Structure 1
Amino acid sequence: MDVRSITDHLQHIRSLSNEPATTGAPVTNEELIVKILSGLGLEYCEILTAIRAHDTIITYEELYEKLIHHELFLKHKDMKKTPTPITTAIAQKNNFNNKN
């Protein structure tokens, strides 16, 4: 998936799926879910595995909720990796003290 948010990705796929409906060939929920899942990047691998493990097909609404929560989880995880100014200052101070 590119750098679009999950919301943008889902809206884009949903709009594409609505086009065939106007020509008389509506897209099924299963086709919509497969299209959405196939467009996700590696960072969604864990949740894709869990979704595919279901005995029944997930609804669009359930998938939307799960992907939004996973996106928030990923953002929170990335924030933990980024050092804050305080953490950086302490690390630099400790490094300076260890050299002296």
Structure 2
Amino acid sequence: MSVAGYMNTVKSIVDDLFVIGHPLRTEGIIAHTLNDIGNDFKELKAAVQFFDTSITFEDLYNKLFYEELILKRHINENDDLKITA
């Protein structure tokens, strides 16, 4: 699943919990999201967890989306190298 798809699912769950009277704190949402995104984003996970400042869900979404673009570009570059080798 793409980052956008995953983050939209997370947002939908968070919204549903809010509607039924069980809102989550931003810190909890970020922690759960970082725990579930997998090893492809381990450097970003470490950076977010390392810094003491808090991050918004929207900022995390943007960072994950950008990181996904970089990963896809890197994969495509490696595929191009394999074809020409």
Aligned length: 85
Are 1:64 and 2:58 matched, yes or no?
no
- The equivalent residue for 1:76 is 73
Identity %: 29
TM-score normalized with structure 1 length: 0.77
Structure number, greater radius of gyration = 1
Q: Which runs of 4+ in 1 moved over 3 A?
A: none
- The equivalent residue for 2:49 is 52
Unpaired stretches in structure 1, ≥5 consecutive residues: 92-100
Instruction: Tell me how far apart the structure 2 counterparts of residues 43 and 37 of structure 1 sit (CA, whole Å).
Output: 11
TM-score normalized with structure 2 length: 0.89
Instruction: Tell me how far apart the structure 2 counterparts of residues 84 and 33 of structure 1 sit (CA, whole Å).
Output: 36
Instruction: Tell me how far apart the structure 1 counterparts of residues 14 and 32 of structure 2 sit (CA, whole Å).
Output: 9
Unpaired stretches in structure 2, ≥5 consecutive residues: none
- The equivalent residue for 2:33 is 36
- The equivalent residue for 1:95 is none
- Aligned CA RMSD, in angstroms, stands at 1.6
